[in-house]
Structure 1
């Protein structure tokens, strides 16, 4: 897993309110929503490859 880094971010109040509402609508934290938005923008611009979804193996025998 990638190491996570933190940094301060200054944004316009109206922009933050919109992201907070979007995050609430998607049941995410603001941080997770910002990561989602940034990741999607990077993918659409061709700067990163889309991450494969993690799969969970369920063992029904136990």
Structure 2
């Protein structure tokens, strides 16, 4: 994995507190939650360029994979 870029980020204390609660709700650190939110916003805006095939846990498994199985494989 490529090294991550470090930089200082100044936030309003109330915004940080809100992010801290939100990150805790999602079992993330504040840093990883900010990165997640920025990545989601950049993807929605089409700013990340071509995407790799997704292995997102939010997407249900393909139903065609189950229909491709036959009784011969059991």
Cα distance, 1:21 vs structure 2: 0.3
Q: Indicate the residue corresponding to 2:39 in structure 1.
A: 39
Whole-angstrom CA distance in 1 between matches of 2:42 and 2:51: 9
Q: Give 1:53 deviation, angstroms.
A: 2.7
**Which residue of 1 is the match for residue 7 of structure 2?**
7
Q: State whether structure 2 residue 49 is matched by structure 1 residue 53.
A: no
State the shift of 1:2 in Å: 2.0
Larger RCO: Structure 1 or Structure 2 (Cα < 8 Å, ≥ 6 residues apart)?
A: 1
Gaps of 5+ in 2: 57-74
4+ runs deviating over 6 angstroms = none
Cα distance in 2 for residues equivalent to 1:19 and 1:50: 27
Q: Cα offset for 1:44?
A: 0.4
Aligned length: 54
Larger radius of gyration: 2
Report what 2:65 is aligned to. Answer: none
Match of 1:59 in 2: none
Q: CA deviation at 1:5?
A: 1.5
Q: Which structure 1 residue ranges, 5 or more long, are not aligned?
A: 55-62
- TM-score, normalised to structure 2, is 0.65
